[in-house]
Amino acid sequence: MTSHDDLRPVEPAAPGVRPGDDADLQQILRAVAASWTMPPVRLDRPSWRDRVRSPRARRLATLRVAGSRIGRAAAAAVTLSVGAAMLGVLLTRPAGPAANQSASPTGRGATASPAAQPSQLPKLLIDGALPTPTQLVVSVDDGFAMVDLATGTIGRAFAAGQYGTVVRREPGGSIYCLCLGGDSYGSGSFTHMTVTWNRYDDAGAVLDSALIGEYTGAPDPRDVGNLEQSQHVALRVSYGSDPAIAFVGWSAHAHPVWKSGVVVISVADGHVIQRLDLPDRTDGADLVRFGSDAPRVVGSLGAGHLAIARPWYQWSPPTGPNPSFRTGADTFDATTDGQTLSTFVPLAAASDCADAVTGAGPRADGGFWLACTSYQSGTTIVRRVDASGAVLGDTRISGQGDLGGDATATAATSPDGSSLYLWSPTRSTLTRVDLASGETREGKGAVAAAAGPLLALGQWLTPTVQAKVLLSAGLALSPDGTRAYALGIDPNGGGGGGPISSGVFVFDTETMAQVGHWSSTADLVSIAVSADGAFVYVAGSPEFNGNGTVTLQSASISVFDASTGAVRLIAGQLGTGFLVLPSTTVR
């Protein structure tokens, strides 16, 4: 008898029935489901909101409370770091079948009782050979852990840090962390932060460590007691085209200016290649205050040039209950030899390009393009610039995403650099921008009916829930650029009329036609593709029921066969932490 703790392929009971046939799998799943029970609800557990949010995000919520000592100025700083990186879809969502829907995996059969309690996903479901890779680094709440898909288990957290901490595999294969830490908290924000490089073995044990830098900022002495104050120190990790080189940007407040700079790091051994300072920025005078976020590499401007953006925010007047706010960014053209940086020249073409430059790349004619985000309108402007620096034209698209090497995006650049793709998960629309001409073409997704017990598994087993959707990331391209895989959200598809996950949409990037739709196996929040393009990995969030209480449905990872859409594996009990894939490529 197959246990509910380890559901693996079972040999057929009779000759001539192949493992994986619908009838056979349906029989297996029905038998196993009969033994699954819903564990009791624990009301003493932290809420989803408490578990999912990082300390920085929790501070953002605190800052927004009326009467808080610090208000929207510090929130603006977090918005610049998080707003572009997190999809602007934060929705209350019931997911899974309504009480009057069929309880059978094929959508036929007896109707479930309204009082029936759905079961958790199985610990492990494998159909066919194991997908590769099976060892994954995942982000869980404020830390990182290893998932073993061969056993359906998740290890203990081996790295943690403040928002922006990065854990990756370096080109040689070892796991490293650029871990951001913060302490000496004052006036609502950190006054001291650190960057540490750690290298780990496959079990998560620290093999080597090096302190990259310490940064100290101070509150504005003019604004003691004011509602509005900025953050005092900020850090950000980013990358150029070489994955062996990382850039740590920093900004620290030292009235009357903000100081900032970039540290260039070799990820193989953590040694600092270079430290450079950027020009100071004023913190404002009289009735205007300025805050500065950390600089970051947002892309290439062509051979020997990187685009570096330093976001800023301002508010006026510094006292009073209703100041006005603006956001923007100082964008620089940094000369590089591939490892070191030299001159920082203000990038004139970016001066009036929306609120912030969030992406850049070279064009075939020797010029470059910029992707600029408007946070207020939720749009992206794609600006084409020729080799002389003259602006050729702007293309405005609904939707936004951070393209500066961040996985938490609903935008992606084709591997050959010729096209930019932006995904609208609620409209199920993929937009392609031709970076040579600025012309756009849309592909519209449609939801297909589930077929077979494996494709219906998520609809059959996932509890009806009240939770939140956060796509991180919502769009991934195949390594050859021929396919786009996107996570959708149906705004009104839930049993109570609320939004639900609408599965994975697959597009041909040449024709922009939808070529597949894969049903949700859970509350899908993150997507990535294997380095060889053979498999698509999706992460599902832990869930709440319709009353907001914990159902104990765990986080999960499902793996689809990229060529057929068949579910190859489900690891359905990976703990209560909010789990995402930290990169859109799984290595």
Q: What is the CATH number of the domain that holds 44?
A: 2.140.10
Task: Please indicate, yes or no, if residue 225 is contained in any of the structural domains.
Answer: yes
Residue 425: its H or E element:
none
Q: How confident is the model at residue 75 (pLDDT cuts 50, 70, 90)?
A: low
Task: Please indicate, yes or no, if residue 81 is contained in any of the structural domains.
Answer: yes
Tokens found for residue 522: 């859970």
Full residue range of the structural domain in which residue 346 is found: 36-586
578: which DSSP letter?
-
Closest CA to 177 of 164, 185, 167: 167
Closest CA to 165 of 176, 156, 177: 177
Q: How confident is the model at residue 581 (pLDDT cuts 50, 70, 90)?
A: very high
Number of domains in the chain: 1
Question: Mean pLDDT for the chain?
Answer: 77
Is there a contact between 15 and 21 (Cβ–Cβ < 8 Å)?
no
pLDDT at residue 91, as a whole number? 32
Question: pLDDT for 519-562, tens place per residue?
Answer: 988 888 899 999 999 999 999 888 643 233 345 778 999 999 99
Task: Please indicate, yes or no, if residue 573 is contained in any of the structural domains.
Answer: yes
Task: Please indicate, yes or no, if residue 191 is contained in any of the structural domains.
Answer: yes
Q: How far is CA 233 from CA 132, 166, 228, in A?
A: 41, 18, 16
Closest CA to 572 of 36, 18, 158, 14: 36
Task: Please indicate, yes or no, if residue 8 is contained in any of the structural domains.
Answer: no
| Residue 404, Cβ density class (10 Å: 0-12 exposed, 13-18 middle, ≥19 buried) | buried
pLDDT of 193 > 60? The answer is: yes
Q: Pick the range with the lowest mean pLDDT from 62-76, 185-199, 527-541.
A: 62-76
CA dist., res. 310 & res. 342, Å (int): 17
Task: Please indicate, yes or no, if residue 16 is contained in any of the structural domains.
Answer: no
Helix (DSSP H) and strand (DSSP E) numbers for the chain: 6, 38
pLDDT of 47 > 60? The answer is: no
Task: Please indicate, yes or no, if residue 28 is contained in any of the structural domains.
Answer: no
Task: Please indicate, yes or no, if residue 242 is contained in any of the structural domains.
Answer: yes
Most confident of 65-69, 77-81, 456-460, 488-492: 488-492
pLDDT of 450 > 70? The answer is: no
Question: pLDDT for 344-355, tens place per residue?
Answer: 999 999 988 988
